[in-house]
Structure 1
Amino acid sequence: MEWRDTGILLGTRKHGESSLILEVFTPERGRHFGVLKGGTSRKMTPHLQPGAQLDLTWKARLEEHMGAFSAEPERSRAHLAMANRVTLAGMNAVLALLSFGLPEREGHLPLYRRTEALLDLMAQPDLWPLAYLRWELALLEELGFGLDLTRCAATGAREGLIYVSPKSGRAVSEGGAGDWANRMLPLPEVMLGRGAASDAEIVLALGTTGHFLEHHLAASLGDAPLPAARAALIGLLARQTKRH
């Protein structure tokens, strides 16, 4: 068995004396593992930073085997991430959520393209929090937990949507919520593609997407805790909001 593809490096772990096990996200084969011989060498180490884009060839005797990678660097993103605390925390959150939520060896091409575009946007840190929020919404959609924010689940109204049902993920208007309003999640305008998309609104919106990541996605994976990297990003954004 053999294939070649590009891929985003999600992480590495040591394997033997000089090899690494790479975890990558590829367009056609999704999240995939493989052994890279000599991965700890001085030549390869600088190119194997999380978020790096790699030209990958995978080989194995049988498809179900872990197999071995050969890898050539396409581009590094470390310099972009390190230039700003928010983008560094954000990149860590993206990679951790992909590793956490994606099944192995299952292609998710739309999500791959969104992820690649998001990581390449790190040169514009002012745009990044909003882009990250949209990426989380896309992640939920791709994994089968998408939100329906087009109309009120109770009344069918398309205006006055201010809540999200924590169970169904559907939008709810003030009138539609009725006595259940205190059990609803907030639906800030930024989630509807409207308004100024302030950092405060984005943090509020991430609280809503976080509910579905924790209580729907993580629950489907045996209630594993969400990666700490996501909480670190939101904490940083919240502190940044208070300073402003």
Structure 2
Amino acid sequence: MHLIADAVLLAARQHGEHGAVARALTREYGVQPGYVRGGRSRMLRPVLQPGNLLRGEWRARTAEQLPALTVEMLHSRAALHAEPLAAAAIAWVTALTAIALPEAQPYPHLYDGLDGVLTAIESAPSARLWAGAVVRFELLLLAELGFGLDLERCVVTGRADDLAYVSPRSGGAVSRAAALGYESKLLRLPDFLLKGGQPDGSAIGQGFALTGHFLTRDILTERRAEPLPARARLVDAVKRAVA
């Protein structure tokens, strides 16, 4: 095995006294793990921060062996880890990607989406301007893993107008008229997921509730549920910030 690719670092954990095992998402080769010699050193610790864009080189003699990984910094987002809300968002989207995706399966749309949401977090001056991007990334991840929501037409009437809710069972959109009398049993569908634009605080909360339901039901089950408390803390902090 010998791979060279640009990658978004998803996670790094200590391995032995000086090394680290890193997981990174590449566009062409999906999630790739690797052992970084000296990964706990003062020089490499700032490089092995989730969200950083790296150029990685993976080498292994056999398919079963954990590859040795050398990294070169392309773009650092390490400074954002000093900002609590941005750090929580980066930690969540990278942890979600790391835990949800199988290794070595390419997901180019997710790679582009992750880089896009990280850029939004980095560039926007407030959570109000990037929280919608986090929701959209969660929707994209659901779709790429085969759990996409059908937000094109009402699951009851087949019409494409006045969509306002989502069925928590089918993941299909429901129009306002078809939902009459059943609103409390449905999830709200915020307009920004249909029409784009900048969501307000209420719409951001609705978006997180929508994606959170399906992430919890379909992807973050059993051992994969570990990062859910971090998501809950992020959502609460974002709601306070955009209120």
Output the TM-score relative to the length of structure 1: 0.90
Instruction: Write out per-residue CA displacement over residues 15-40 of structure 1, whole angstroms, 9 at most, x where no aligned residue.
Output: 12211111111111212211111112
Q: Measure the CA separation in 2 of the matches of 1:46 and 1:86.
A: 19
For the 8 Å contact 1:21–1:33, the answer to whether it is kept is yes
Q: Measure the CA separation in 2 of the matches of 1:90 and 1:125.
A: 14
Q: Could you say which residue in structure 2 is the equivalent of 1:96?
A: 95
Structure 1 gap segments, 5+ residues each: none
Assess, with a 3 A threshold, how the Cα gap between structure 1 residues 202 and 158 changes in structure 2: closer, same or farther.
Answer: same
Q: Which range is displaced more, 46-55 or 204-213?
A: 46-55
Q: Measure the CA separation in 1 of the matches of 2:146 and 2:125.
A: 29
Q: Could you say which residue in structure 1 is the equivalent of 2:11?
A: 11
Is residue 2:113 matched to residue 1:114? yes
For the 8 Å contact 1:56–1:69, the answer to whether it is kept is yes
For the 8 Å contact 2:59–2:68, the answer to whether it is kept is yes
Query: Deviation of residue 178 (structure 1)?
Result: 4.8
For the 8 Å contact 1:214–1:225, the answer to whether it is kept is no
1:133 partner SS? helix
Q: Could you say which residue in structure 2 is the equivalent of 1:35?
A: 35
Q: Could you say which residue in structure 2 is the equivalent of 1:241?
A: 242
How many residue pairs get matched? 240
- CA RMSD after TM alignment: 1.9
Q: Measure the CA separation in 2 of the matches of 1:156 and 1:37.
A: 56
The percent identity for this pair of structures is 38
Q: Could you say which residue in structure 2 is the equivalent of 1:232?
A: 233
For the 8 Å contact 1:6–1:27, the answer to whether it is kept is yes
Q: Measure the CA separation in 2 of the matches of 1:204 and 1:40.
A: 40
Is residue 2:143 matched to residue 1:141? yes
Q: Measure the CA separation in 2 of the matches of 1:192 and 1:92.
A: 27
Assess, with a 3 A threshold, how the Cα gap between structure 1 residues 25 and 171 changes in structure 2: closer, same or farther.
Answer: same
Equivalent positions of 1:69-218 (< 5 A) are 69-82=69-82, 84-121=83-120, 122-126=122-126, 127-178=129-180, 180-193=182-195, 197-218=199-220
Poorly superposed stretches of 4+, deviation over 6 Å:
none
Q: Measure the CA separation in 2 of the matches of 1:94 and 1:195.
A: 21
Structure 2 gap segments, 5+ residues each: none
Paired residue type of 2:6? T
Equivalent positions of 1:35-74 (< 5 A) are 35-74=35-74
Q: Measure the CA separation in 2 of the matches of 1:87 and 1:59.
A: 33
Instruction: Write out per-residue CA displacement over residues 32-58 of structure 1, whole angstroms, 9 at most, x where no aligned residue.
Output: 211111112222222222211111110
1:182 partner SS? helix
For the 8 Å contact 2:100–2:224, the answer to whether it is kept is no
Instruction: Write out per-residue CA displacement over residues 91-150 of structure 1, whole angstroms, 9 at most, x where no aligned residue.
Output: 111011111211111111111011112212212134211211211111111111111111
Instruction: Write out per-residue CA displacement over residues 55-104 of structure 1, whole angstroms, 9 at most, x where no aligned residue.
Output: 1110111123221101111121022453x433222111101111121111
Q: Measure the CA separation in 2 of the matches of 1:63 and 1:125.
A: 44
Assess, with a 3 A threshold, how the Cα gap between structure 1 residues 135 and 125 changes in structure 2: closer, same or farther.
Answer: farther
1:90 partner SS? helix
